[in-house]
Amino acid sequence: MAGLDCCVCGAPFGRDLGAVPLGPVPEAGPSGCSLCLRRLITRARETRDAALTRSAQQVREDSAAWESVRDHHLARLDAVRRAAEEVAVLAGNEAVPPLQVAWLSISLESARNWIPDTPEPPASVDPEDHPLTNAEMLLDSAVITARGAVADRLAYHLINEVQPDESEMCEELECPEDCSGRHDASHVDCGPDAIFEDLLRHGVTVEEPDPAPLSPQFAALFAPRSEEPTPLFPGLEEQASAALAQLGIDPDDPEVLLSVAAAGLAAEALLNEPLDAIRTAPDGPSAGEVFAQGVDLYRRARKALVAARDGGPERLDAFTAVASDLDLPWAGGSRFTLRAASGPVSDFVRHIDEQTYMTKELMRRQGWRNALLHRAFTAVLKDTHHFGMPDWPAVVDAAMEHLASLDRSSLPPGLTDLRTVETALLQKPDRLGVDALEWLARHALLG
């Protein structure tokens, strides 16, 4: 009976409609007509082709995302490898003091330790990635060579030198209070970028890789939040975004907003009444020292804000610890410390704690983006010419134009090489030192 009618459409078989047995054997089981079977086969092929198209598109998307991650990791490996090669060369240069060679080795090890773990490709991408393997092998070889060069240089130096009773490294390495004063490689924590700054002091420039591309999770943090409990500043998103846009600052550009917010947090720490009173005292900081400290705090504020994005508002405490440290000398080679200063130092420390607490609380209640908008608005109100602000390149251009018009012999020693001065002002002004920055501030060239 199963072979009399088509099992798909039910039409009876006859002279005009032939039967096609479907099994399990020709003598038993259902049968179907050729028209129905042709339609079923066509539909199955269309479904298969559509699935193949979707799979190919997914492979292309996964490959593009993986190439971006891989290329950034390769750039980091290559930069640290080239830095290691330069350290090996400098270690054999007798003109470089042994202590500086040791610091180069420490900062190189720190940069090596800060390299993230090797990224894993998605399942749709070929796991055999020879460029990554080769880059890691070349980096390991360069670091081993640098370690050998440093060891050869320092072995004889240590034999002929006497270790001091108390080490001066603890403050730089932020050691715990019970530190014995003796250090080894386990105490390395200079951050990932110190090696490039240290090499620059010796005239060696290693170009740092660009920041990693923003992940979808990071970009999603800039989207407005739909529900916020008890906001500190209702309407902050709309009002601050509109105000910043009118001032030429794109609030929807993540990098611009982060940079301006870091400048605002740094400006809040240094542009306030307690510090104004401290500066007027005879032992207060000069304008150059304040400017150098502002640049250093900007970098620390930027790192703290990024860390707070993933680790929570408490990560801002790292910025507070440095900005309010009583014994830490200020940036740019300054000898000024808050503990040795006259004036309302306790009020200054309390002000920084209060402002940082406000930013942390705003993150908790209204989100990371709103906290950045608030601090960005602080920046445009307090100091539009702060390092890290969009107007800073224009300030540097005006300063360089003024310096170029002066007699070189009348400039301080640190400002005679205009190309070096321009590069430092655009990237790391505190590298010029407080004396040069004081001269620029005294001649109203820093905005």
Per-residue pLDDT, 165? 46
Per-residue pLDDT, 34? 83
**Rounded to a whole number, what is the distance in angstroms from the first to the last CA of the chain?**
97
Model pTM greater than 0.85? no
Give the Cβ contact number of residue 379 at 10 Å: 27
- The DSSP secondary structure of 323-380, one letter per residue, reads HT-SSSPPTTT----STT--S-HHHHHHHHHHHHHHHHHHHHHH-HHHHHHHHHHHHH
DSSP 412: -
- Distance CA(212)–CA(214), nearest Å, equals 6
**Phi/psi at 12 (5° precision):** -75, 145
SS3 content of the chain, % helix, strand, coil (to 5): 60, 0, 35
DSSP 20: E
Look at residue 121 and give its three-state secondary structure.
Answer: coil
Look at residue 61 and give its three-state secondary structure.
Answer: helix
Burial class (CB in 10 A: 0-12, 13-18, 19+), 230: exposed
Percentage of the chain lying above the pLDDT 70 cut: 85
Give the Cβ contact number of residue 153 at 10 Å: 20
pLDDT in tens, 117-163: 888 888 776 666 678 888 899 999 999 999 998 988 887 577 556 54
DSSP 28: B
Is a pLDDT exceeding 70 seen at residue 176?
no
Mean pLDDT over residues 305-330, rounded?
93
pLDDT in tens, 199-254: 888 889 888 877 767 666 666 666 665 554 577 888 888 888 888 888 888 989 99
Mean pLDDT over residues 357-366, rounded?
92
Predicted confidence band at 359 (pLDDT cuts at 50, 70, 90)?
A: very high
Per-residue pLDDT, 75? 92
Is a pLDDT exceeding 90 seen at residue 265?
yes
- Distance CA(415)–CA(403), nearest Å, equals 8
Degrees (nearest 5) of the Cα angle 424, 102, 319?
A: 50
